[in-house]
Structure 1
Amino acid sequence: MINDYPQVLTIAGTDSGGGAGIPADVKTMQMRGVYAAMVVVAVTAQNTLGVQDAMPVPEKLIDEQFASIANDLKIRACKTGMLADPLRVRTVVRNLKKYNFGPLIVDPVMVAKGGAKLLSDDAITIVRDELLPLASLITPNIPEACELTGMTIKDKNDIKSVAKELQKLGAKNVLLKGGHAQNKDHADDYVLFEDGNDLWLTAPRINTKNTHGTGDTISACITAEIAKGHSMEQAIMIGKTYVEKTIQKGINVGHGHGPLNHWVKVEGDDINGI
């Protein structure tokens, strides 16, 4: 009976304000009924107003965190978030190749909601060349997808072309989030699956600035659902529904881009019945 409960891993940076990064991942994973472990890659001084400072974790300590988890837990799926710099990205890649932690969801975090850059140019190159080929799913927003591919997005056809290019770079499945598009009424996310099938996920825009941590939250939810045995498509659909509800039923915290309401439940959930 040891290790029979679904366990997941987040590999990312902290957010002292609690709205994004590892705190958002763990809150989401907890609400989705899985046990969350973590590898801390960087520590930030951060709140809803922005990122005030950041410090990467020493390479040796990152290695030791991976080893500690691998020696005791049975991770069924994992995700990456903010990875700081080239050394930290390469350290994470090396450990992901060393240990079998199940399907990998890559959230290529590059810029914080307040505008602070969270990934150096050299690190972006390593994410593209070394981390993406390991990914079962990549979940970039439009600016991140353009940065990774060197392409521009002006319309839906461009979105499809960029998603195909991300697949060529090695990611098996692509969820390209459309929140940064110019449409004021709704946001269109595009999903390109490994087998070539695709779909659009459309949702009305919600008039709020409390969207800090949306990328972390949807990727963490998808990771949790995969660990519970859902297919990639099912996991993405649940993730989309969950993050929509965290925004719709928002909470007011802080003076800037506030966090999501991670306490929400998706209709039909039976978390305790896992």
Structure 2
Amino acid sequence: MTAAAVLAPATALADPPSTSECTTTLSPAENADIARLSDTSTLDDEDELARLQDAVAREHRITEIFERHADRRGTFASGLDTVEGAAVMPLQSDPRSFADPEYAHRISFDLLRRFLDNVHAEFSGGTPEPHWAHYFALAADCSASPARVALAGYDAHLVVDLPRAVAEAGSTPANAGDYFKIVANIAETGDLITDRTDRTYNAKMGPLWRFYFFGEGLDRVLGRGVATKPLLVASDLGANVTIFANGLALENPALTQVTAAEIELEHQTAEHAFDIVAQLDGI
């Protein structure tokens, strides 16, 4: 199937997923669009960069639908779309950016694919993975703020999906330079992400964003002097090392199970901390 065919308006209708009073009901055609656009089985281009470009274009179209209605299931998608446009794709489109461009295309695609697969599950009657099911459940929970919903998406994307993408891409220590170049470039987009999310969803991202990416508020949650590693403050160099190391460990059959358990603990710990900060700040 061609990219143009996938990106074209829907010709078939789908039943919308359930919504609550704090999530906007999309039209059947819009739900069908999202289900089709997020179907990664139709991303069949053999060229790594072309396939990534197709996936990014689809995610952008999905984000436009979410943002049109301020549908809270798009709070993370807006940030992801910002990152792809401002940080990831400019690097990916320049063959001089990486020591191994094919590796860079591969890991970025696999990470994006994981989000699309879970969106597809949400909009096609499937079952999202637990970390994304939590995100969608928060989006439908009117007691959770848009900022809290968005942070659940970043937690799922960075703490759970990114090490899995590291493993799926067949990463080795030799790929560390390319990996860190991508994440460092993404780190520069923080203001763009928060501005867009605040503007679209009235999210008031600041306090939770600073907590997650800069470590503010850790003492309030855990007590002064407690190590921050369990919370994986995602822009910290040590956290990105941990994520990459977790991905390498997932490739080792002897370490896969224990590493997966550690990743789940890190994810749950961060979610608990976000809940506390959201309550403290009334977010």
TM-score (norm 2): 0.27
* Greater radius of gyration (CA): 2
More strand by share: 1
More helix by share: 2
